[in-house]
């Protein structure tokens, strides 16, 4: 395992169908004013909101509500949340929802104490500065899995004016949620489309880190095990969304896919995310489905540059028998197996299904950030080529 790194993850995870029992006691560690962040109101329909409010009241908290966080949190919404936090001098930003809510909560947390003459979007999502001001603690109750935001420092914000959707993975561990409650039963009521989007988001988080580097790396063995488990669990969850074992395994896979563990010693790629986020900035499509739309065209394009790793992926993850096959044949069969699984569980397979059209390709390419860590660094013309291949 090559490279030098520091691994530190400060998030406390409370996992299982009884996880909410510990919430009141956990909340007592923070100050009296809590900014409660949630989305469009589904938590009020499924009963989670009442459980959260009961825990907050039992802990003696004053609750300031910040509802309406959209699936792709915008700069405008971020500024609204910052204003709420400043006006109420909040002690904890508490996100109840999926990755978008938690990403948003982190964005607010790093921006509350930013000097008034500093623009949060420019500072953190354009210039990629690290926070030097005090960071408000973040906590979470997870209701949709996929992003891994419950145990990392990432925050993705969308700017519709500039047609940019940008993720900043903050290095400062104070940005990570201090605690996260993970109850797999809270994911049961998700529509199938959202569940599948989350599943592919998990898979792509792992492959983005896996398809990099040439050395024999412990992180790759961990990644392969996570991917195999995710494949098995996803098939079970699609058949029965209330299969607790399947949903719990998917939730746990999602957390470990992007809590920085399997990135250790890796250069990592992330170009699928850049392509998908650019599509999302122009279409506002569901994040996981923007990734599923572009992943296979991208991997088939870069496969010749990382042939040996793609061959290992075919055998170690998809169980392809290498006997009598060239490396190229083995790789092709592995990617075909991945495609078959994606179609089986219900992934979107082209950006055209998400509303992207031929006349949008050049603009989407202009919104696509080029990453340096994978097996091949795309040129802009190659970005256009990959985008056209998935219309």
**pLDDT tens for each residue of 292-319:** 999 999 999 999 999 999 999 999 999 9
4 located within any domain: no
63 located within any domain: yes
Taking residues 344-356, report their average pLDDT: 96
Q: What is the pLDDT of residues 129-162, one digit of tens each?
A: 999 999 999 999 999 999 999 999 999 999 999 9
Q: Are residues 165 and 63 in the same domain?
A: yes
Residue 269, pLDDT > 90, answer: yes
Write down the pLDDT at residue 2: 84
18 located within any domain: yes
Q: Are residues 96 and 198 in the same domain?
A: no
Question: In this structure, what CATH number is given to the domain that contains residue 285?
Answer: 1.20.1090.10
Nearest alpha-carbon partner for 109 in 158, 162, 173: 173
Q: Are residues 210 and 357 in the same domain?
A: yes
Cα distance between residue 48 and residue 365, in whole Å = 40
Q: Are residues 159 and 207 in the same domain?
A: no
pLDDT classification of 390: cutoffs 50, 70, 90: confident
6 located within any domain: no
Q: Are residues 167 and 138 in the same domain?
A: yes
Residue 242, pLDDT > 90, answer: yes
- Please tell me whether the overall predicted TM-score, pTM, comes out greater than 0.85 for this model: yes
Contacts 24+ apart (CB under 8 A), 128-136: 128/168, 130/170, 130/171, 130/172, 131/170, 131/172, 131/174, 131/175, 135/109, 135/110, 135/172, 135/174, 135/175, 136/85, 136/90, 136/91, 136/92, 136/93, 136/108, 136/109, 136/112
Taking residues 104-126, report their average pLDDT: 97
306 located within any domain: yes
Q: Are residues 114 and 247 in the same domain?
A: no
CA 214 to chain centre: 25
Q: What range defines the domain where residue 285 resides? A: 193-389
33 located within any domain: yes
Cα distance between residue 139 and residue 209, in whole Å = 26
Nearest alpha-carbon partner for 143 in 71, 80, 84: 71
- Using N-to-C axis directions, what is the helix angle for 271-283 and 380-389, rounded to 10°? 70
Taking residues 342-346, report their average pLDDT: 98
Write down the pLDDT at residue 383: 97
- The answer to whether residues 64 and 89 touch, using CB atoms and an 8 Å cutoff, is no
From 186, 203, 228, give the residue that closes a domain.
186
278 located within any domain: yes
Nearest alpha-carbon partner for 145 in 196, 107, 111, 179: 196
**Residue 302 CA: distances (Å) to CA of 34, 57, 195, 331:** 47, 53, 28, 12
From 153, 170, 186, give the residue that closes a domain.
186
Q: Are residues 59 and 77 in the same domain?
A: yes
Residue 218, pLDDT > 90, answer: yes
Tally of domains in the chain: 2
Write down the pLDDT at residue 24: 98
Q: Are residues 177 and 225 in the same domain?
A: no
Write down the pLDDT at residue 1: 84
Q: Are residues 200 and 174 in the same domain?
A: no
From 157, 186, 215, give the residue that closes a domain.
186
Q: Are residues 264 and 227 in the same domain?
A: yes
Write down the pLDDT at residue 41: 85
Q: Are residues 25 and 126 in the same domain?
A: yes
Q: What is the pLDDT of residues 286-298, one digit of tens each?
A: 999 999 999 999 9
């Amino acid at each position: 395992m090559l490279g030098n790194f520091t691994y530190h993850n400060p998030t406390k995870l409370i996992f299982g169908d009884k996880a909410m029992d510990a919430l009141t006691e956990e909340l007592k560690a923070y100050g009296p004013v809590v900014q409660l962040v949630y989305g469009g109101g589904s938590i009020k329909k499924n009963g989670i909101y009442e459980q959260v409010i009961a825990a907050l009241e039992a802990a003696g908290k004053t609750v300031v509500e910040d509802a309406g966080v959209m699936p792709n949190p915008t700069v405008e919404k971020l500024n609204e949340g910052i204003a709420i936090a400043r006006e109420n001098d909040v002690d904890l930003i508490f996100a109840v929802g999926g990755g978008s809510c938690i990403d948003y909560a982190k964005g607010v947390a790093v921006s509350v104490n930013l000097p008034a003459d500093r623009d949060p979007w420019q500072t953190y999502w354009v210039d990629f500065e690290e926070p030097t001001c005090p960071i408000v603690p973040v906590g979470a109750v997870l209701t949709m899995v996929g992003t891994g935001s419950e145990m990392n420092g990432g925050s993705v914000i969308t700017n519709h004016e500039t047609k940019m959707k940008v993720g900043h993975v903050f290095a400062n561990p104070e940005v990570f949620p201090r605690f996260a409650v993970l109850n797999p039963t809270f994911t049961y009521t998700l529509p199938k489309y959202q569940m599948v989007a989350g599943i592919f988001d998990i898979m792509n988080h792992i492959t983005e880190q896996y398809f990099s580097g040439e050395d024999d790396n412990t992180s790759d063995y961990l990644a392969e095990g996570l991917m195999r488990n995710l494949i098995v669990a996803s098939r079970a969850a699609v058949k029965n969304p209330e299969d607790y074992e399947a949903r719990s395994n998917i939730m746990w896979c999602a957390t470990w896919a992007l809590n920085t563990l399997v990135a250790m010693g890796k250069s990592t790629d992330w170009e699928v995310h850049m392509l998908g986020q650019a599509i999302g900035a122009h279409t506002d499509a569901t994040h996981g489905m923007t990734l599923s739309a572009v992943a296979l065209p991208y991997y088939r394009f870069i496969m010749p540059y990382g042939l040996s790793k793609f061959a290992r992926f075919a055998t170690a993850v998809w169980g392809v028998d290498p006997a009598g096959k060239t490396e190229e044949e083995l790789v092709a069969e592995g990617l075909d197996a991945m495609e078959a699984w994606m179609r089986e569980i219900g992934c979107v397979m082209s950006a055209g299904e998400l509303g992207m059209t031929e006349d949008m390709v050049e603009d989407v390419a202009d919104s696509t950030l080029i990453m340096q860590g994978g097996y091949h660094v795309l040129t802009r013309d190659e970005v256009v080529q990959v985008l056209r291949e998935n219309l």
